[in-house]
Each structure stands twice: as structure tokens, then as C-alpha cells.
A and B are shown apart, each in its own frame.
Chain A
Amino acid sequence: MLLTFRAKLVAIVATAGFAQLLMIFASAVIAARVEKQLDAVQRHYLPKIDLEPRLDATFERLWRGFEDAVAAHDAEALTATRLVHATFLDQLDAARGAIDPAAATRLKDAFEDYDHAAYDVSRRLLGDETGEAMVGAIAAMQAKQTRAQEVLREATAFDRRELSAAFVEATRAESSAKWYRLSIGLGCLIAVIGLSAWLGRDVLRSVDDLAVGLRRFGTGDFSHPVRVAGHDELADVARRANQMATSLERLGREHKRAEEKFRALLESAPDAMVIAGRDGRIALVNAETEKLFGYRRSDLVGAEAEVLLPERLRRRDGSNGADYFRDASAHAGGAPVELYGRRQNGAEFPIEISVSPIETDEGTLVSSAIRDITERKRIEAALKLSNRELEAFSYSVAHDLRAPLRAINGYAIALTEDFGDKLGGDARGYLDRIAASAERMGHLIDALLSLARVSRANMKREPVDLTHLARATIAQLRTIEPARVVEFIAADDLRTNGDSQLLRALLENLLGNAWKFTSKQAAAQIVFGCERPDSMAPVFYVRDNGAGFDMAYAEKLFAPFQRLHTSDEFPGTGIGLATVRRIVERHGGRIWAEGSTGNGAVFHFTFVDAKEAE
């Protein structure tokens, strides 16, 4: 049935309406028929019921009027009979509908005939006329009176059977109308009910199909779509439901795939992954967890996550209050926390745990990545030890290695001083060399210690006036070598943020280098300045017009023990620029050099990463 649900409803309503109209029309037709019957009875028979007595009474008043006038011998009374005569004619005329027209004409003729004769006889009697003729006239008149009375009776005869028949006819018509109405009404009712049932069966079946299908969908079974019958709205709903089911099924598949992927990811994670609910119970673990803690997966799922911790770290048993698995916020900013884990066999081992919340439909879960840091701890301990050893080594270098050097230097000088006159020139020269070598090794040790200190020292950032530091450094250099004539130009008010001790060492090294490498210049000049002083990443520089260097070795400059000059040309340890670079790097900056042999050198340096500053 290719009808919409709406069309079906409209059809039912239309059918009911049409039946109603049909009933009304039929009723009207039947009513009209009954009315016509009753009307006929009223018009035809009712006037007849009292017509005869009325006309008969008037007729009697007429013939008595004639008799009275003759008996009283009154001409005027005779004239008065004319009024009665007129009344009779009026009455007859009024009853015309009730009397057969032919009978009426006959009655009128007989009446007029009698009246003429009676009036003529009465007038002649009043004139006292007698005789045979008179007797004859009176007899004729009486015959006419009798005849008129007969005709009157005939004309107004009232047929009771006819009236009964008419009423019977009317009653029958009304009765049959009732039956007609009833049957039409019943017919319409049956038609409407039948149509409704027929159309409704479709609708009900569709609704049933839909209910069954949707119930199945509700249980997650999308294998059977809802049966779609017809093209009505319910069919449309069913189709939509099927589309929805398809989408849901696809979503379900995607969800399942995502979950499988998640599980695969979880399994392949290098850390032990423990996912716990808000109640602190484990929902999910991966293979690494089994391996790390020695539990079977089935032992862990549903258990308190805290079984993975030593008892002293558990919230229930301990007083430290930290609930590592339940409260992701317990870990500042999700940063890893170092703890101890407990294997099934009770063994403790150091772990690092990173906790992050996972928002899911079932509420917030807490995912913990747990890593065995036994090895790292061991390395850290070893590193700490070796750092301590390095510390001790530095101290030893500073103190114990220098002591013999001091002795070598001191005794060489003592020899020269005390026994110089007994030694030859060569011997004194050798002693000088011994003293100088010890001295040089002392400088090397100092430089190495300084480099080590620069790497180790704790940085303390504060505003530092670089111009002031540079000027103080140059002033110090001038006191050491007052004979040198060096022009020093420093830009005013160069400042940065950094560790003042390290920055002092930086400038001492750079300016010291410039001082040293300009020693063979007649007009030595050293400039300390800054490019882009107002930018986020100002570039400072120290420029000199000294010996310079070959750009081919620009990178080598900053490596420890790399020297581009011999000690005879310019003394040095080869550690100064390595120290400088280390200081700049510790401030997050960069240093680079430009120069050419004989034309001086420029050292540029920043304290802020230019890329970060942008």
C-alpha cells in the first residue's frame, strides 16, 4: 500500500465524513417524503372534517330565514336572507381546496337553483298569491331544497378510510426512514471501522517491527535491521533507525579498533603501565607490569594499585598521605616522582612514576607509567661518587700537585741565589729554566682548575654592570704592566643579567687576551662594545688590533689546550677561551670570533639565545 500514514488517516477521516454526509442527505430525503404525506393529510382531509356541519348549518339558516320571513310576512327579513346566501357562497369558496372542484360546482349550481326558487316562492307568498300554480312552485322548491341538501352531503362526504390510509402511509414512510437511517449509519460505521482496521493493521505492524528492531539495537545487536514496509512515516522512521544502527555499528567498530590500538600501544610501552580508577583499583595493566612486579595480570586487575608499593608508602598503612595512584594532582604538574616499588616476592626496587589523568566515559582514570630506575640509580650513585672523586682530585691538584712545583721552583731559585757564584753560566741558565717550567705548570694547573670551577660553580643570576667590570679589569692589567700603552674604549652602561663571578672571569680572559696579543703593537687599542644594545639579544664584543688569527682556525680557538701561537710569541695556557666559551654557554649564550692574521680579532658574545629571544 503506497500510502503515507498521514494519507491513511486522512482517508479514514474522509470516509467517516462522507458517511456522515450521506446519512444527513438520506435523512433529509426521507424527512421530505414523510412531510409531504403529512401535508397532504393536513391540506386534503383536515378541512373536510367540519365542512359539512358548517355548510349544512348555513344552509339551514337560509331555508329557515325564508320560512320565517313568509310566516312573519316580513319583506325585510326576506332581503336579509341575501346575507346568509353570500355567507354560504363564501364558505364554499373557502373550502374549495377540500372539495373536489366538480362537486363544488355541482353544489353551487344546486344551491343557487334552490335559492332562486325559494326566493321566488317566498316573494310570491308575501304577495299572497295562491292557486294551483303556487302549490306546484312550492313543491318544486321543496324538491330543489332536498336536492341541494343531497348534493351538499355528497360534496362534503368525509371518507374515514381514506384518511386512515393516508396516516398509515405517513407512518410507514417515517418508519422506513428510521430503518434507512439506521442501515446507512451502520454501513458507514462498518466502512469506517473496516478501513481503519485495514489501514491500522499496517501501522501497527510497522510499529511492532520498529519496537522489536529498536529493542534489539538497544542490546547492541546491529546485525538485523528493522523491517521496512511501505513508504509511510513509520517506514521512514524505520529507515532512519537502520541508518542510525549502521552508524552506531561503525562507531562501535571504530571504538573497538581504537581500543585495540590503545591496548597494543599500552602493551608495547617500555614502561609498566597501570591504569586505575578513582577508587584506586587497577583496571588495566600491560605485560611490562607483569614482568616488572612479578604478578600475573589476573592478580592485579581489580586489586588495589597500592599493592605495587611497599607497605610504608601505602596510604592506608602509612602516614605520608600521598596516594600515588589515585590522585594525579599529588604529583606536581605531572612531573615524575621517584618512589620504591614492591614486587610480588616482597623485594623493593626504585621506580619512577609519572601519573596523568585520563578522562573517559566511565569517569576519570589515572594512568601511571612506572619505570624501573635501579640502573639509573646505580649510575647516579656512581656519578655522584665520581663527582666527589673529581672534587677531591681538583682539590688534590690545587694543593698537592702545586706543592712539589713550589719546591722545584723554590730550590732552583735558592740554588741560584745561594750558590750562583759557584755555578757556571749554563748551570744558572738551566736552573732558570727549571724555575720557569715549574712556574708555567703552576699557571696551567690554575687555568685547568678555573675551567673546572666554571663548569661546576652554582650560577647566581643578578644584574651585572659589564662596563664597570671591563674598566676594572683593564685597570688591573695596567698596574701589572704599567709600561704598556694601550688605548681602551668601553661603551657606557653595558649591562646584562648573569653570575658576576663568572662574568668577571669572562672579561678578565677576553680583555687579558686582547691585552696580551696587542703587546707587539705600537698603538694598541682595545674596544669593548655592544651591537643592538636595546634588543632582546644584545651582542657584545671585544675587539683588538693585535696579532689576530687565521679564520681557518676560528673554531679551534675555543677548544681547551688549543693554541695558535707558541709560548715564545705569546705566553698562555690554551685554556682561557675554553673557559670563556663555557661561561657564555652556561648563560645560555653563544660566542664566535672573527679576525685575520695581523689585523686583530673580534670576539662576539651573547648571553641570551637569539632564537629564543625572537
Chain B
Amino acid sequence: MATNAPILLIEDNKDDEALTLRALRKNNILNDVVIVRDGAEALDYLFVRGVHAGRDPEILPQIVLLDLNLPKVSGLSVLRQLRADERTRLLPVVVLTSSKEDEDIIESYELGANSYIRKPVEFARFSEAVKTLGLYWLLLNESMPRRRT
């Protein structure tokens, strides 16, 4: 069981990033949050390569918050590669997107997303969803929220 397990937030929009972090904080989810800006970097981080080649490979994120609409490598593609790799196969992935397209939702689940949060315009509803889902998956991983300084 990994300690200090961070939350991996894959998000290219800085506002969404700030609001997501705020939602996590407001809901007392105090894990480290590793932020990557695009699909390619996300894969580098997960598979410990490229700019993230130097990081401790033992540390796996406790949960991945994945935006679908990403530069370079799309969120769905990240999800597909992540599920194809032995190391990350079982990683909990919560898809975050503003898309309401049924196809996206269906495809996400087909590719093995554990959950899906639609990013509504109303921050309150987003915060509520983060709270519900985030807590669920964090608790399911039997990991105590810890804050790394």
C-alpha cells in the first residue's frame, strides 16, 4: 500500500484546475495533487518516463481525475493506454468533463472509467459531485488522506 499517494489531476484548463482544487479542499480532501497539462504528460507521469522519468516509480496516484478534452493525447486515449498497462490497470479513474454527449460517457465506461463527473457550470453542484465521488474512491482505496508539505 502506497503512502503519500497523491491525486493525479489531468486538466489543461487553469480555471478548472483551480476550481477542482478548491472543490477538493472544500471537501477536506487534502491529498497531494499532481497536476499535468496534457495527455502526453499524463502518460509520462504514469509510466515514469520523459519529464517524469526521475520520479519515484513506487508512487502511484491514489486516484486519477481525467479530463477528456485534452491537448496532444485525448483523455479517452490516455484511459485506453492506462488500462492496457499492468501497472496502472487497476487505478481508479474518474472522468471529468463538460461533455454531455452520451457517446463520451459510454466510451469512457467501456474503456474502464470507474466513475464520471460532469463539470456543470454551477460550482456548487460540481463541488457536491467531487465530494461524493472523490470520497468514495479515496475511501475505497483504504488510504488516509494525508497532506504532503
Contact B13 A403 (CB under 8 A): yes
Q: Name the residue of chain B whose CB is nearest to the CB of A401.
A: B98
Chain A contacts with B in 399-423, Cβ cutoff 8 A: 399-400, 402-407, 409-411, 413-414
Contact B124 A399 (CB under 8 A): no
Asked whether any CB of chain A lies closer than 8 Å to the CB of B86, the reply is no
In the assembled complex, the CB of B38 is this many whole angstroms from the nearest CB of chain A, namely 15
Residues from chain A with a CB closer than 8 A to the CB of B69 are 399-400
Residues from chain A with a CB closer than 8 A to the CB of B102 are 501
Contact A405 B121 (CB under 8 A): yes
Contact B98 A402 (CB under 8 A): yes
Interface window among A48-56, A265-273, A434-442, A540-548? A434-442
Residues from chain A with a CB closer than 8 A to the CB of B101 are 395, 398
Interface window among B1-9, B15-23, B27-35? B15-23
Residues from chain B with a CB closer than 8 A to the CB of A442 are 120-122
Contact A399 B122 (CB under 8 A): no
Task: Compute how far the CA of A400 lies from the CA of B126 in the bound complex, rounded to whole angstroms.
Answer: 17
Asked whether any CB of chain A lies closer than 8 Å to the CB of B100, the reply is yes
Residues from chain B with a CB closer than 8 A to the CB of A407 are 15-16, 19
Contact B100 A406 (CB under 8 A): no
Task: Compute how far the CA of A400 lies from the CA of B22 in the bound complex, rounded to whole angstroms.
Answer: 20
In the assembled complex, the CB of A245 is this many whole angstroms from the nearest CB of chain B, namely 78
Chain B contacts with A in 87-108, Cβ cutoff 8 A: 97-102
Asked whether any CB of chain B lies closer than 8 Å to the CB of A173, the reply is no
Task: Compute how far the CA of A39 lies from the CA of B95 in the bound complex, rounded to whole angstroms.
Answer: 155
Contact B100 A398 (CB under 8 A): yes
Task: Compute how far the CA of A446 lies from the CA of B101 in the bound complex, rounded to whole angstroms.
Answer: 11
Residues from chain A with a CB closer than 8 A to the CB of B15 are 403-404, 406-407, 410-411
Contact A439 B122 (CB under 8 A): yes
Task: Compute how far the CA of A398 lies from the CA of B99 in the bound complex, rounded to whole angstroms.
Answer: 6
A: contact size bracket: 20 to 34
Q: Name the residue of chain A whose CB is nearest to the CB of B12.
A: A403
Residues from chain A with a CB closer than 8 A to the CB of B120 are 406, 442
In the assembled complex, the CB of A412 is this many whole angstroms from the nearest CB of chain B, namely 8
Contact B121 A406 (CB under 8 A): yes
Q: Name the residue of chain B whose CB is nearest to the CB of A436.
A: B122
Contact A410 B19 (CB under 8 A): yes
In the assembled complex, the CB of A439 is this many whole angstroms from the nearest CB of chain B, namely 5
Residues from chain A with a CB closer than 8 A to the CB of B98 are 398-399, 402-403, 406
Contact A410 B97 (CB under 8 A): no
Contact B97 A399 (CB under 8 A): yes
Asked whether any CB of chain B lies closer than 8 Å to the CB of A189, the reply is no
With beta carbons under 8 angstroms apart, the residue of B16, B22, B100, B124 that contacts A403 is B16
Contact B99 A441 (CB under 8 A): no
Asked whether any CB of chain A lies closer than 8 Å to the CB of B136, the reply is no
Tally chain B residues at the interface, Cβ within 8 Å: 20
Contact A406 B99 (CB under 8 A): no
Q: Name the residue of chain A whose CB is nearest to the CB of B67.
A: A399
Q: Name the residue of chain A whose CB is nearest to the CB of B102.
A: A501
Contact A441 B124 (CB under 8 A): no
Contact B121 A414 (CB under 8 A): no
User: Contact flags (1/0) for A132-164 with B, using CB distance below 8 Å?
Assistant: 000000000000000000000000000000000
Asked whether any CB of chain B lies closer than 8 Å to the CB of A125, the reply is no
Contact A446 B100 (CB under 8 A): yes
Q: Name the residue of chain B whose CB is nearest to the CB of A445.
A: B121
Task: Compute how far the CA of A553 lies from the CA of B13 in the bound complex, rounded to whole angstroms.
Answer: 44
Residues from chain A with a CB closer than 8 A to the CB of B121 are 402, 405-406, 409, 438-439, 441-442
Residues from chain B with a CB closer than 8 A to the CB of A413 are 123-124
Q: Name the residue of chain B whose CB is nearest to the CB of A406.
A: B121
Chain B contacts with A in 103-135, Cβ cutoff 8 A: 119-124, 126
In the assembled complex, the CB of A38 is this many whole angstroms from the nearest CB of chain B, namely 139
Q: Name the residue of chain B whose CB is nearest to the CB of A396.
A: B69
Asked whether any CB of chain B lies closer than 8 Å to the CB of A126, the reply is no
Given A403-B15, A404-B15, A414-B22, verify A409-B100 contact (CB < 8 Å). Answer: no
Q: Name the residue of chain A whose CB is nearest to the CB of B123.
A: A410
With beta carbons under 8 angstroms apart, the residue of B18, B99, B122 that contacts A409 is B122
Asked whether any CB of chain B lies closer than 8 Å to the CB of A449, the reply is yes
Residues from chain A with a CB closer than 8 A to the CB of B13 are 403
Task: Compute how far the CA of A317 lies from the CA of B22 in the bound complex, rounded to whole angstroms.
Answer: 71
Given A404-B15, A438-B121, verify A410-B100 contact (CB < 8 Å). Answer: no
In the assembled complex, the CB of A78 is this many whole angstroms from the nearest CB of chain B, namely 179
Q: Name the residue of chain B whose CB is nearest to the CB of A449.
A: B100
Residues from chain B with a CB closer than 8 A to the CB of A399 are 69, 97-99
In the assembled complex, the CB of B9 is this many whole angstroms from the nearest CB of chain A, namely 15
Task: Compute how far the CA of A402 lies from the CA of B102 in the bound complex, rounded to whole angstroms.
Answer: 17
Contact A406 B22 (CB under 8 A): no
Residues from chain A with a CB closer than 8 A to the CB of B99 are 395, 398-399
In the assembled complex, the CB of A101 is this many whole angstroms from the nearest CB of chain B, namely 159
With beta carbons under 8 angstroms apart, the residue of A400, A409, A501 that contacts B123 is A409
Counting chain B CB atoms within 10 Å of each CB, which of A395, A406, A501 scores highest? A406
In the assembled complex, the CB of A105 is this many whole angstroms from the nearest CB of chain B, namely 165
User: Contact flags (1/0) for A115-126 with B, using CB distance below 8 Å?
Assistant: 000000000000
Counting chain B CB atoms within 10 Å of each CB, which of A399, A438, A446, A501 scores highest? A399
Residues from chain B with a CB closer than 8 A to the CB of A410 are 15, 18-19, 22, 123, 126
Task: Compute how far the CA of A446 lies from the CA of B123 in the bound complex, rounded to whole angstroms.
Answer: 16
Task: Compute how far the CA of A279 lies from the CA of B15 in the bound complex, rounded to whole angstroms.
Answer: 73
Task: Compute how far the CA of A548 lies from the CA of B126 in the bound complex, rounded to whole angstroms.
Answer: 35
Task: Compute how far the CA of A501 lies from the CA of B102 in the bound complex, rounded to whole angstroms.
Answer: 11
In the assembled complex, the CB of A416 is this many whole angstroms from the nearest CB of chain B, namely 10
Chain A contacts with B in 350-399, Cβ cutoff 8 A: 395, 398-399
In the assembled complex, the CB of B54 is this many whole angstroms from the nearest CB of chain A, namely 32
Given A410-B19, A414-B22, verify A402-B122 contact (CB < 8 Å). Answer: no
Q: Name the residue of chain B whose CB is nearest to the CB of A440.
A: B121
In the assembled complex, the CB of B96 is this many whole angstroms from the nearest CB of chain A, namely 11
Task: Compute how far the CA of A414 lies from the CA of B21 in the bound complex, rounded to whole angstroms.
Answer: 12
Counting chain B CB atoms within 10 Å of each CB, which of A395, A409, A438, A501 scores highest? A409
In the assembled complex, the CB of B131 is this many whole angstroms from the nearest CB of chain A, namely 15
In the assembled complex, the CB of A441 is this many whole angstroms from the nearest CB of chain B, namely 7
Residues from chain B with a CB closer than 8 A to the CB of A414 are 19, 22, 123
In the assembled complex, the CB of B114 is this many whole angstroms from the nearest CB of chain A, namely 22
Contact A406 B16 (CB under 8 A): yes
Task: Compute how far the CA of A413 lies from the CA of B124 in the bound complex, rounded to whole angstroms.
Answer: 8
Task: Compute how far the CA of A446 lies from the CA of B100 in the bound complex, rounded to whole angstroms.
Answer: 8
In the assembled complex, the CB of A141 is this many whole angstroms from the nearest CB of chain B, namely 182
**Which 8 A-B residue pairings sit nearest by Cβ, starting from the closest?**
A442-B121, A407-B15, A410-B123, A410-B19, A402-B98, A405-B121, A413-B123, A399-B69
**What are 8 of the A-B contact pairs (CB < 8 Å)?**
A398-B99, A403-B98, A406-B119, A406-B121, A406-B126, A407-B19, A439-B122, A442-B120
Further contacts, 7 of them, CB under 8 A, given A398-B100, A403-B98, A413-B124: A399-B98, A402-B119, A406-B120, A406-B123, A414-B22, A414-B123, A442-B121
Chain B residues close to A by CB (< 8 Å): 13, 15-16, 18-19, 22, 69, 97-102, 119-124, 126
